[in-house]
Amino acid sequence: METVFSLDDLRRRIQGWRREGARIALVPTMGNLHAGHISLLERARALADHTVVSIFVNPIQFGKGEDYARYPSTLEADQGKLSAAGLDLLFAPNLDQLYPGGIEEDTRVTVPVLSSILCGQYRPGHFSGVATVVSKLFINVQPDVALFGEKDYQQLLVIKRMTRDLLMPVEILGMPIVRESDGLAMSSRNSYLNADERARAPLIHEELRAAADKLVTGKHSLIAIETAAMATLTAAGFRPEYFSVRRAEDLEIPKAGDRSLQVLAAAWLGEARLIDNLRVELAGPLPQG
């Protein structure tokens, strides 16, 4: 495995692969890698001749008071995991490489509407930060395909919309959530949980599954499902931001007749902000009301 830190070195490697007619895959990450990240790399290697993983903690997707300054940095350990998994190229730029003019006046890429709901409501500017850095990576890596985890389901839809709207020739693939044995979605931020919080954390997934069961029976209103889940999480010591049933394709409020739904939740537990989601496919159309 080769590690490059500069755009010049990255571009030279990409140009060589392009001259060979190689197919290239990209897996963007912020490091502190876990099994979920490695599953993306393994799938990417099956889809392309060469795979690039990027590690960059992107400051403009963090809001005021969020954990940018203390986000785990584990480059040496990450290099070991990626090398063992057969990665071709690791791109680990510093801030000046991706934001040479500084982050305050840097051009932003914004996906309207989709970026302002759910997580976007509680993290203003977050998805603009994500779209901006991913577009920079796409421009320089020139991937044929890029892979993202479905744990960040709203982020996945934002990137798909950006890619479509900006006519970028990149195939975007969402990959299934990788979970711990108790159902907790793997996340770099799980390391913020203490022992007691870690024991309670799987409740968020349990509530998603309970909501899915209620949706399938068709005997509960969406509002009743969402309200009950929020109450359960609050009683267990979570600080939920939202628990919401949405239309899977665009995260709009479901309407009568919809069948493909996504249940999404975001909640704080101690110092960790946990997000999770679950797809629900109804056998029949969603009833009115």
Nearest CA-CA partner of 286 in 224, 215, 228, 226: 215
Would you place residue 122 in the very low, low, confident or very high pLDDT band (cuts 50, 70, 90)? very high
Question: Is residue 181 one of the residues assigned to a domain?
Answer: no
Q: Which domain holds residue 68?
A: 2-175
pLDDT digits (tens, 9 = 90+) for 141-169: 999 999 999 999 999 999 999 999 999 99
> What is the radius of gyration, based on Cα positions, of the chain?
20
β-pairing verdict for 89-91 and 145-149 = unpaired
Say whether both 135 and 231 belong to one domain: no
| Residue numbers annotated as active site | 37
Dump the DSSP string for 137-155: HHHHH--SEEEEEGGGHHH
Say whether both 111 and 169 belong to one domain: yes
d(CA 207, CA 202): 9
Mean pLDDT is lowest, of 69-73, 196-200, 278-282, for 69-73
pLDDT digits (tens, 9 = 90+) for 62-100: 998 899 999 999 999 999 999 999 999 999 999 999 999
Say whether both 164 and 221 belong to one domain: no
Q: Please say if the pLDDT value at position 289 is more than 60.
A: no
pLDDT digits (tens, 9 = 90+) for 14-31: 999 999 999 999 999 999
Say whether both 132 and 193 belong to one domain: no
d(CA 42, CA 141): 18
d(CA 51, CA 87): 6
Q: What is the pLDDT of residue 99?
A: 97
Q: What is the pLDDT of residue 239?
A: 98
Q: Please say if the pLDDT value at position 238 is more than 70.
A: yes
Say whether both 158 and 195 belong to one domain: no
pTM over cut 0.75: yes
Say whether both 144 and 237 belong to one domain: no
Q: Please say if the pLDDT value at position 288 is more than 70.
A: no
Say whether both 58 and 200 belong to one domain: no
